Chains A and B, each alone.
Chain A
């Protein structure tokens, strides 16, 4: 049983990690929380469902929806964040602005799709579960785990080895200095939003596949967990988001395994507090909030 519970925790953690990577990326660059991330997560899942309904194969529908999520991220930045950035608004304002956008996105989705849960009619979701000794898991769970690891490594590579990654890191470090060095601020921020939102969209699609469930409120349920994950992992740290995701997933699963299902959420947030007491910047956070 313990082995299966560790596997359960690993898969749950992978979902949290994938969601949190995009969340933390935007924070790392702009020092703001993008609370519309969960809405994009939901919209990408619905877009995939619609494209499949229109007859597209999954291998085409999912990338289109992911790219669409990325573009929506850029639109989000242009509408909700860029105007405030130009006026140097305090950090709380874009936070509220992103909540507003999340509500608008939610209302649009509700208008189009209504409140009912949707499902994918995909043959590969019906494949029987796999067994490895006493352990049971599904192909989709493996894909999610693989994706979380692959995208973490991919993103780490982009951030370290490409011009775009260097530009993003420079902007994150000091926006004014980066601009003086000739980095196009708005393009870099736009690219950050594209990557973060595309990853959010991917997380939404994979989560919808794992539970075969597309719902208007699917983002709201993961949003708070995502916040706990990035705080625990260290705000702005991609490695932190991934490790934090696995820690929260594992803690939740083990809380249930030890017979404390009614305390599950309280325990995972309790662990977050404990880690913050020992390391106030989270597991992988390097800096505290800038004071000047």
Chain B
């Protein structure tokens, strides 16, 4: 079940061996910074297999693209031999802990990941004890950055995304009642459901029905029938893409035409690929837009599509943003484990595919959420 990522290993090893100067014509000028010639290894922990693989594979793909971009000069690390070493956590908490042990003892300068918030709760304390900085790229549950003084994340938490989503949709849709359906056995979806509930109540919306499901469920007919009978003005989904797409599809089958909205978990092309016309109109509060004009985003989306045959989703984009952030730090001369945590704390701004990002005093990312709406098989800004 646990498949080591030999390809990533080989790629990382190749990156370390080949000086950037001898690899092809550079598309962007590689500069000589204070860390020129130094080798900087960044450990990536991602669920490439197992139940969270739909997110982890995007992350692995983004880092492999970043490794290529470092070689070609599209990503500038100031002449340092920077590489991202992607290891598969196989959606298994014990494997996550093992990989944290490995990366905290093998000269790794910084750890990126893991994929899920629950995994971060298990693995991050190991990095904290070893004084290795961790940057989460997809951990959005409450309290992750409180795990230690060097735990950061570039992913906007639900606590940052949901208030904007509620405010924006309420202004446009003018709803008074809502029903919530969320997964109660996953740190992300549970947090999502709780925060939506709090924010809706704060906005004076009454919750007429709350339904729960388990991650991996496929049949939502019973819950949706109950929601339909409660006649809410809006339905809130605290879900990841795989469940959300089925909820949207099955709601449509049951004749439910109510407005729907959700958080980061719904920011995936899978939603409209799967649910088709049923997904039209669904609003998604998110950290990234595939149509965004930020640094390198258009090029990232195009090259990702060309290389892997699928569009990147938010998980891929956030991983690539972390790679851009790390490249910037290395370019500034930060190359060792001891230099990374203070450098992240003092970071003023990093230009990424998510837009300009920095960290607040609580080590959460400061960035503006985007409110998107699914239209004709794509995401558009919600107005």
Contacts and interface: CB of A to CB of B under 8 A. Distances in A.
B53 A256 contact: no
A207 B253 CA distance: 16
A136 B254 contact: yes
Contacts of B254: 4, 129, 136
Interface stretch (A49-57, A110-118, A188-196): A110-118
A117 B270 contact: yes
B63 interface: no
A259 interface: yes
Given A116-B57, A221-B216, A256-B226, A11 B221 contact: yes
Given A221-B216, A261-B212, A213 B246 contact: yes
Contacts, number: 84
Interface residues of A, number: 38
B218 A138 contact: no
Interface string B256-285: 000000000000001001101000000000
B302 interface: no
Interface string A83-116: 0000000000000000000010011001000111
Contacts of B212: 261-262
Main SS class of interface, A: helix
A254 B223 CA distance: 10
Given A114-B57, A117-B54, A12 B229 contact: no
B338 interface: no
B242 interface: yes
A265 interface: yes
B103 interface: no
B225 A221 contact: no
B225 A257 contact: yes
Contact of B223 (A11, A138, A221, A256): A256
Contacts of B249: 212
Interface string B49-67: 1110110010000000000
A12 B221 CA distance: 9
Nearest to B213: A261
Contacts of A218: 218
A147 interface: no
A5 interface: yes
Contacts of B57: 114-116
A67 to B, nearest CB: 26
B360 interface: no
A9 interface: yes
A7 B51 CA distance: 30
A52 B217 CA distance: 25
B207 to A, nearest CB: 13
B221 A107 contact: no
Contacts of B214: 265
A8 interface: yes
Contacts of B270: 117
Nearest to B50: A115
B346 interface: no
Contacts of B219: 8, 12, 15, 211
A257 B255 contact: no
B184 interface: yes
Contacts of B211: 256, 261
B129 interface: no
Given A110-B49, A116-B57, A257 B218 contact: no
Interface string A255-274: 01101011001000000000
Contacts of A34: none
A129 B253 contact: yes
A138 B253 contact: yes
B99 to A, nearest CB: 18
Interface in A125-162: 126, 129, 136, 138
29 contacts: A4-B254, A8-B225, A9-B222, A11-B221, A12-B219, A12-B221, A15-B219, A103-B1, A107-B1, A110-B49, A114-B53, A114-B57, A115-B48, A115-B54, A116-B53, A116-B54, A116-B57, A119-B273, A119-B274, A126-B276, A129-B255, A136-B254, A138-B253, A213-B218, A213-B246, A213-B274, A221-B217, A253-B221, A257-B222
Given A117-B242, A212-B249, A252-B222, 9 more contacts: A1-B228, A4-B254, A5-B226, A115-B53, A136-B253, A211-B246, A256-B211, A261-B212, A261-B213
